[in-house]
Amino acid sequence: MDHNHEIDELQAGSLKTLANPRRLRILHLPAAGPLGVASLATELGISQPNASQHLAVMRSAGVVEAERDGREVRYRFADPEIVVACGIVHAVLERRFGRLAGLTGATRPHEVTPWSNQ
C-alpha cells in the first residue's frame, strides 16, 4: 500500500467517525481547553453516558485524547486543526444553505432539501 493510499484510508476513517451530528457539535463547542464529560454533556444537552460513548468513539479514532485531571478525565483534540477543517466545511454548507434558501424562499436550513435548487 502506498503512502497516499494509507492517508486516504485514515482520512476516510476519521470522516466516518465524525459523520455524526453530536460528534460534530463536540467539534464546534467554543471550548478554550480540555473538557470533562460532565461539562460536555451539559453543553450538548445529553446524558453523561451518551457523551462518554461519543468521546470513546472519537478517542479510538484518534480525534480526541484523554488526560487525567485529579479524579476527572478531560478530553482535548489530538490535533486542533481538525476543528479548523470541520469549521471550513461548516462555513461552506452555511453559504450553500443561504443560497438555496434565497432561491426557494426558505428561512431555515432544514427547510431546504437537496433537490431544492433543481
**Per-residue pLDDT band at 27 (split at 50, 70, 90):** confident
Q: Both 1 and 37 in a single domain? A: yes
**10 Å Cβ neighbour count for 28?**
11
CA gap 76, 36 in Å, rounded? 9
Q: Both 73 and 90 in a single domain? A: no
Q: Both 59 and 8 in a single domain? A: yes
Give the H or E element holding residue 54.
helix 48-60
pLDDT tens profile 71-103: 889 999 999 898 899 889 989 999 998 888 777
Query: C-alpha grid cell for residue 48?
Result: 453523561
Q: Both 72 and 84 in a single domain? A: no
Give the domain CATH number at 53. 1.10.10.10
pLDDT tens profile 28-44: 886 667 889 999 999 99
Q: Both 21 and 74 in a single domain? A: yes
Number of domains in the chain: 2
DSSP E strands, 17-94: 35-36, 64-69, 72-77
Q: Give 6's contacts (C-beta < 8 A, 6+ positions apart).
A: none
Q: Both 38 and 86 in a single domain? A: no
Range of the domain at 112: 80-118
**Model confidence, pTM:** 0.75
Count of alpha carbons within 13 angstroms of residue 28, beta-carbon side? 14
Q: Both 64 and 13 in a single domain? A: yes
- What residue type is 12 in one-letter code? A
